[in-house]
Amino acid sequence: MGWVQASRRGRFGPTSNNSPLKQDGKVVTHVEDVDGARGQEDDITKRSSSSTTGTGTSTSTSTSKQFPFAPESLSDDALPFIPKEAVLERGKQSKKTLRDQGNNHDGEGKQEDNKDNEHWIVIDDIVFDCSDFISEHPGGQQVILSFVGEDCSWQFWRLHGKNIMEQYGRALRVGRTEGIKNRFVEPVRYVGLSKLGDDGW
């Protein structure tokens, strides 16, 4: 049944060796500077401590999840609402555990140790639980981990098409939210003149 099962089987086979992209022997850090996540963390801590609703205990077992994976047939609008504060708090917890384990964006950590964490990211106000998926992600774990508890919409859409969202992302949806910000301003895209009409527009 869809991605979840595929993920358990190791959908991406040999590419799913928990290794981020490498070039010239070095881990390719993302254009969005994954290390910048540390700065955001303080911000998140401040914001979430001011008003947090809490999300209860977080575990990765599907039976006890407060926000389990939504059926793929469910429309985005029908997803359960997860308050911004809960998303930020979850991101904070996730980052704390990663840091405690010495695994905060610094390399190829052992994600299987993070059983008490759920790694949520936000794309277009939809919350995705990437806890199990990160070890299968062809782009590596770190790019996703660097955005836990944050919006990464434009980064996602620059690297993936709608088909990827439908085929793999949809099954990872756990809810919808509002007000989660992207910590990076999207760089301007330039359109080639050849794509413009005769009148230049």
Contact positions toward ligand HEM, by CB under 6 A?
30, 121, 128, 130, 137-139, 143-144, 147, 152, 155-156, 159-160, 164, 168-169, 172
Long-range residue pairs from 159-166, CB within 8 A, at least 24 positions apart, any chain: 165/123
CB nearer ligand HEM, residue 11 or residue 84: 11
Q: How far is the CB of 11 from ligand HEM (least distance, A)?
A: 8
DSSP letters for 57-87: ---S-TTT-SSPPPPTTS-GGGSPB--HHHH
Q: Name the nearest CA neighbour of 21 among 9, 10, 34, 5.
A: 34
Q: How far is the CB of 154 from ligand HEM (least distance, A)?
A: 9
Q: How far is the CB of 9 from ligand HEM (least distance, A)?
A: 15
CB nearer ligand HEM, residue 89 or residue 120: 120
**Token reading at 36:** 């910048």
CB nearer ligand HEM, residue 70 or residue 172: 172
50/151 Cα distance (integer angstroms): 20
User: HSE-up of 45 (CA within 13 Å, CB side)?
Assistant: 10
Q: How far is the CB of 120 from ligand HEM (least distance, A)?
A: 10
CB nearer ligand HEM, residue 67 or residue 156: 156
Q: How far is the CB of 164 from ligand HEM (least distance, A)?
A: 5
CB nearer ligand HEM, residue 99 or residue 160: 160
**119 CB contacts (<8 Å, ≥6 apart)?**
94, 129, 130, 131, 134, 144, 145, 148
Q: How far is the CB of 160 from ligand HEM (least distance, A)?
A: 5
Residue nearest to ligand HEM (CB): 139
CB nearer ligand HEM, residue 67 or residue 128: 128
Exposure string of 144-170, with b = 16+ CB inside 10 Å and e = fewer, is bbbbbbbbbbbbbeeeeeeeebeebbb
